[in-house]
A and B are shown apart, each in its own frame.
Chain A
Amino acid sequence: MANVDWITWKTDPNEIINPDQIEEEINEYFNHYDSYMSSMIYEPLKEEMNQGGLSKDAFQISGISPAYEMAASILKEIEEIKTTMESLQKEIKESSQEQKEIEKQQLIDAIEDKLSKEKLFLKTIESRQGIQDQIKKLGEDPQDIIGIINDRIYKLTERLEVAKSL
């Protein structure tokens, strides 16, 4: 959700990127894989290498234990997958944090921009009698308009505070 602006972003701060949520989701996938691989492949293989038919003393030709070495290379690759996985988890966390800062700043900039425009509009109405007269001619009370603008400014200020606290 890049390029967040004050229109698309409501009052729910979770509508911009949520790194914690992303981290949790990714971890779930990783853990599912890891628990499966570890319990079904890695640990049993290790057990066989230590005491079973893959051990060095179970099968050896002139000092070479091919089955043991093959099993060792499998374990090594599983460990490498895990290392790559953990590195990726860390990168995802960092990148999503950065992305959040980007989106947060975009949101703050958008709200502040809108806020400044509303304040200018209010100032214009209050200071220029001619505009108030125009509003009266349209059948509207200038004080009502001023009240509506003040209300929007108030809400935008609240949203700005929320955005800054993200």
Chain B
Amino acid sequence: MNKEGHIDLEKISGSIEPLSSMENIINVVDLSDNFLDIEKSLRQINFEHANCLPYKESMELIFSDLESVKRKINLLADALRKTKANYTDISSFSERDLKEFTKIYKETPAGEDLSKLVGEALKGKIKSVVSEVKAELPTEMTTSDNGNVTTIPIPETTPTTEEPFNTVPIGIAIGATGIAGSIGAVIVDDMYSKKNKKNKRISHNDVYIEEYTGDDILDDSSYSATQRDLYNDPGIVQGPYRAARMEREADRYYGNQLQGMNLSEDDNIYVDADDDDDDNYN
């Protein structure tokens, strides 16, 4: 977060005493007593009905404003004391501190502005995590065949959805583990997997994650002969398995819905035509 700003601790320290003094006065001396005396006098006058003085609304307004002044002076004095005690310079402000200040100053336009700053900070954080995750993925694959080295680029899929910052769970750590599911990013499955790993399907509400074993790939007619050959080639450099493919459509189950689809080698959809274990899809 770009923390531009300024804290003059000397000035702030100098204001704490006057603010504390105001705090004491406003808390000890009940300034509303004056207005209670006025109300009493007006009641004794017994105005004729025809010219009844509507003073009650005015009095309520005054009492309400007095309470608000009292509350804000207490908040302000407290905020200054905290600022002095906890911060030496603007760069030591964290997003958490900003949130705290947002609460203190929420009744002012500054509170909204601070809230926006917090939001922007979080948004910036999400973008940087996505960038980091994507940076870890290999962008190309190198093969060698009797000394002939071939480089095959791995296609990259851009995120299909971008969640607004205020709905992204704080557990942004999820993105950091490589799944990045919470931000709807789709990481391309490069069809390589660890061997001897069982088929595993996980579905969570409308989110569908699947992992594929290498043997399934060999049998999968959606892959071209070239791709299958590449997979079988002992010279192939296999990267770590990353089969995190997210489906947001609840009905994109395996099997029947996808059977018969004319899938091309570019489609990132894996079909297990033999799967009849529908119980897993919950």
Give chain A's interface residue range (CB within 8 Å of chain B).
35 or more
> Is B125 in contact with chain A by the CB < 8 A criterion?
no
Q: Once the chains are docked, how many angstroms separate the CA of A60 from the CA of B76?
A: 15
Chain B contacts for A44, CB-based, 8 A: 18, 21-22
Q: Compute the total of residue contacts between A and B using a CB distance below 8 Å.
A: 176
- Closest chain-A Cβ to B162's Cβ sits at a distance in Å of 24
> Is B7 in contact with chain A by the CB < 8 A criterion?
yes
> Is B238 in contact with chain A by the CB < 8 A criterion?
no
Contact B48 A73 (CB under 8 A): no
Closest partner residue, chain B, to A96 (CB atom): B45
- Closest chain-B Cβ to A76's Cβ sits at a distance in Å of 10
Contact A67 B58 (CB under 8 A): no
Contact B110 A58 (CB under 8 A): no
Q: Mark A48-87, 1 if CB is under 8 A from B, else 0.
A: 1000111101111111111111111110011011001101
Please give the number of chain B residues whose Cβ is less than 8 angstroms from any Cβ of chain A in the complex.
66
Closest partner residue, chain B, to A40 (CB atom): B25
Given contact pairs A41-B22, A59-B7, A64-B113, A69 touches B41 in the complex (Cβ within 8 A): no
- Interface residue from A53, A69, A85 paired with B62 (Cβ < 8 Å): A85
Which of A21-29, A111-119, A133-141, A150-158 interfaces with chain B?
A21-29
- Closest chain-B Cβ to A39's Cβ sits at a distance in Å of 10
Q: Once the chains are docked, how many angstroms separate the CA of A57 from the CA of B6?
A: 7
- 8 A Cβ contacts from B1-49 to A: 2-8, 11-16, 18-19, 21-22, 25-26, 29, 31, 34-35, 37-38, 41-42, 45-48
> Is A10 in contact with chain B by the CB < 8 A criterion?
no
- Interface residue from A22, A66, A98 paired with B108 (Cβ < 8 Å): A66
Closest partner residue, chain A, to B108 (CB atom): A69
- Interface residue from B12, B34, B59 paired with A58 (Cβ < 8 Å): B12
Which of B67-75, B185-193, B201-209, B264-272 interfaces with chain A?
B67-75
Contact B8 A69 (CB under 8 A): no
> Is B117 in contact with chain A by the CB < 8 A criterion?
yes
- Closest chain-B Cβ to A81's Cβ sits at a distance in Å of 5
> Is A148 in contact with chain B by the CB < 8 A criterion?
no
Given contact pairs A29-B34, A61-B93, A74 touches B55 in the complex (Cβ within 8 A): no
Closest 3 CB pairs of A and B: A53-B15, A66-B110, A53-B12
Interface residues in chain B, defined as those with a beta carbon under 8 Å from any beta carbon in chain A: 2-8, 11-16, 18-19, 21-22, 25-26, 29, 31, 34-35, 37-38, 41-42, 45-48, 50-55, 58-59, 61-62, 65-66, 68-69, 72-73, 75-76, 79-80, 83, 90, 93, 98, 101, 104-105, 107-111, 113-114, 117
Interface residues in chain A, defined as those with a beta carbon under 8 Å from any beta carbon in chain B: 1-2, 17, 22, 25-26, 29-30, 32-33, 36-37, 40-41, 44-45, 47-48, 52-55, 57-74, 77-78, 80-81, 84-85, 87-88, 91-92, 95-96, 98-99, 102
18 interchain pairs, CB-CB under 8 A = A44-B18, A52-B11, A53-B80, A54-B80, A59-B12, A59-B83, A61-B93, A61-B114, A66-B105, A69-B108, A70-B75, A70-B79, A70-B105, A70-B108, A71-B76, A72-B108, A88-B62, A91-B58
Supplied contacts A32-B34, A73-B72, A102-B48, 17 more A-B pairs, CB within 8 Å: A29-B37, A33-B34, A52-B11, A53-B14, A58-B7, A60-B5, A61-B5, A64-B114, A66-B110, A66-B111, A70-B79, A70-B107, A74-B72, A77-B65, A78-B69, A91-B54, A99-B48
